[in-house]
Structure 1
Amino acid sequence: MSEAIHSICELFPEDNPPDVGEYLEYWDKRKMSTETKKYRGFNLEPGFEPETANFVNTEWNPKAGDVFVCSYPKTGTTLVREIMRQIIYCRDEKLLKKTSMCSYMYMYLEYGPVSKYKIVDQLPMSRRIFGTHLPAPLINFEKFQKVGNKMIYVLRNPKDQVVSWYHFTQTYPTVKANIPPHNEIFPKEIKSFINLAITGKQNVFAKDGEGYLEHVRDWAQHRNDSNVMFLMYEDIRQDLENAVRKLCRFVEVDLTGEEIKQVTHNCSLETMRTKEENSKSEQLVVRKGCVGDWKNYLTVYQSEYLDKKVEEVLGATDIKFKYTLHSD
């Protein structure tokens, strides 16, 4: 956190540094917190604040060039945010380097206290990349469309998503310390974890009894909005360069062929994993990143249960998940 804050301060003139005291005080008070709050009937994760989400929807003024990477946890958020960062800042080497360290501040629209926007809105960038895990009913689509913001919704097959979600939650300090209720809703035994997740008993970014598939269902209602793009994680892994080209067109950034190849290289699984390992972070976000790893973890019953639930929840949509990649 302190390193990220230092990087943010470096983006400001030396004679006019931002006041980060209130922001740091908020996080200091929330160490090891498992408090989950509700926003308009939906459960959020610790650190994701209803007050901040409401501020974003009702009072905050985004810039016209801002891009929002929208998703449920562990569906490819980090990858797409990095692709967008590389696309937008690739011609400004200084900004590209510094924004790699300060993304914590604008990682998610609803993450942290409202006071962070006193800092975020002063950052000297004409375009910014934000993430959000908010379900569609909690998003002010009319506002963002009117401003001209681009919104990318990333989705991943639910079998790989739940496996990735399991491994990620096991890095939570609260899970490692066996603190309730995280030790109960994110158990260390993977079969039990998967059962809780796929039956809607974790209540993460969802209403009670719901989960990832309902998140996709609600976002699917906006799939044809002019400022919304749906992007499958599996398609990115199948052809990263093609995904980069599609994203460039969507956010209206005209890169050269060489620049596209450089972005593709910088966002490859190998490059991102090496970068994260070198960061010495205790909470690794990039793990295997492959498609089909679910076969090593899900039981036949769990796999079939998810197949039925996908049909039940998403049968009325045109969403079709990919559980393996085809070979060339």
Structure 2
Amino acid sequence: MMTDEIEKIEKMETREDDVWICTFPRSGTTMTQEMVYLVQTLDFDTAKAVHFQERSPIVDIKDDRYPYYKGLKYIEQMESPRLIRTHLHYFLLPEQLKKGKGMTISVVRHPKDVVISLFRIMQWCDLLAEDETTFDSFLDTIVNGTGYACPWPRHVLEYWERRDEKNVLFVRYEDVIKDKPAAIRRIAEFLGRKLTEEDIQRITEHCQVENMRENPMVNFDYFRDIKTVNDHAKGRFINTGRSGNWQDILTTEQSRKVDRLIQELDGSGLVF
């Protein structure tokens, strides 16, 4: 985990109309953020002109080497309603948010797709640790619970167990990919927004993976200007957006390793 301002995050003041998008990394965070932003505002011009990390900053990271990791001070100065992203476990969220002051949208994705996508983005960003440079070694850190944002089962179960709370919306990535308009309607209902079918179609089009991949406001291309990236890696910040890719990529042994994570959900009702 990032530890930059973790104690301040726990004690921070939240607002009734805050919307927090809470995910394990590479679980559809950016696509969900774009949907939520447009459901709230229908401001497509700003969505195409202002970087998504300004419109929905990540609270986890404060790093002055990068233009958008501005930390809590930036978030505290934002106008309402604020849209905030995080990969933190539920128990590390602000105490006020956990007590219902603000809304939480949690997105979960099949861990076999997650681990592939996370390795590829870390490889592209040149952020793999010394013990993670091969996919097998990286996979072991996720399965063993020592990798970034791990352990995965605890992360997703903490949100799943609160899915029936009135200020929580729990979303499966696979459902979003299968039917984006239906996902947009669910988000709109949760946020108390009324949209026309034309609105829904415009948001759907904006959030098509092909369009997001070409959109400099969401595709992380700016990283090339400030750090080393590995364009020989197989992945980018925006990949295929499909579910089930793991079936063509993971070996039988690798797949069985991730099955151990899924087995830790037994009895919870959360199934893949």
Alignment TM-score, normalising by the size of structure 2: 0.84
Structure 2 counterpart of 1:73, from 18, 25, 30? 25
Question: What percent identity do the matched residue pairs reach?
Answer: 25
Query: Structure 1, residues 180-199: CA drift from partner, whole Å, max 9, x if none?
Result: xx122x21x32332233223
Aligned to 2:182: 242
Q: Which blocks of at least 5 consecutive residues in structure 2 are unaligned?
A: 64-68, 230-235
| Pair 1:193 & 2:111 matched | no
Structure 2 counterpart of 1:293, from 245, 250, 254? 245
Aligned to 2:255: 303
Aligned to 1:136: 90
Answer whether contact 1:63 1:147 (CA < 8 A) is retained: no
Aligned to 2:61: 111
After TM superposition, which residue ranges in structure 1, 4 or more long, deviate above 6 angstroms?
Answer: none
SS in 2 for 1:270: helix
Structure 1 counterpart of 2:14, from 47, 50, 62? 62
1:205–1:153 distance in 2 versus 1, CA, 3 Å:
same
Once the two structures are superposed, the pairs formed by residues 89-168 of structure 1 within 5 Å of their partners are 89-90=41-42, 92=43, 95-98=46-49, 100-101=50-51, 103-104=53-54, 106-112=56-62, 116-123=71-78, 125-140=79-94, 143-144=96-97, 148-168=101-121
Structure 1 counterpart of 2:124, from 165, 168, 171? 171
1:159–1:241 distance in 2 versus 1, CA, 3 Å:
same
Answer whether contact 2:20 2:105 (CA < 8 A) is retained: yes
1-structure distance, mates of 2:178, 2:196? 22
Structure 1 counterpart of 2:213, from 273, 281, 288? 273
Q: Which blocks of at least 5 consecutive residues in structure 1 are unaligned?
A: 1-43, 176-181, 322-328
Q: CA RMSD in A?
A: 2.5
Aligned to 1:262: 202
1:223–1:183 distance in 2 versus 1, CA, 3 Å:
same
Aligned residues, how many? 255
Larger Rg: 1
Aligned to 2:130: 183
Once the two structures are superposed, the pairs formed by residues 44-55 of structure 1 within 5 Å of their partners are 44-45=1-2, 48-49=3-4, 52-55=5-8
SS in 2 for 1:78: helix
2-structure distance, mates of 1:101, 1:115? 13
1-structure distance, mates of 2:10, 2:32? 23
The AA in structure 2 aligned to 1:318 is G
Deviates more, 1:66-75 or 1:294-303: 294-303
Once the two structures are superposed, the pairs formed by residues 25-40 of structure 1 within 5 Å of their partners are none
SS in 1 for 2:84: strand
Aligned to 1:9: none
Aligned to 2:66: none
SS in 2 for 1:173: coil
1:105–1:229 distance in 2 versus 1, CA, 3 Å:
closer
SS in 2 for 1:230: strand
Query: Structure 1, residues 299-321: CA drift from partner, whole Å, max 9, x if none?
Result: 1122123224312x111211012
| Pair 1:226 & 2:169 matched | no
Alignment TM-score, normalising by the size of structure 1: 0.70
SS in 2 for 1:224: coil
Q: Which has the higher contact order (CA 8 A, sep 6+)?
A: 2
The Cα of 1:174 is off from its aligned counterpart by: 4.1
SS in 2 for 1:271: helix
Deviates more, 1:267-276 or 1:107-116: 107-116
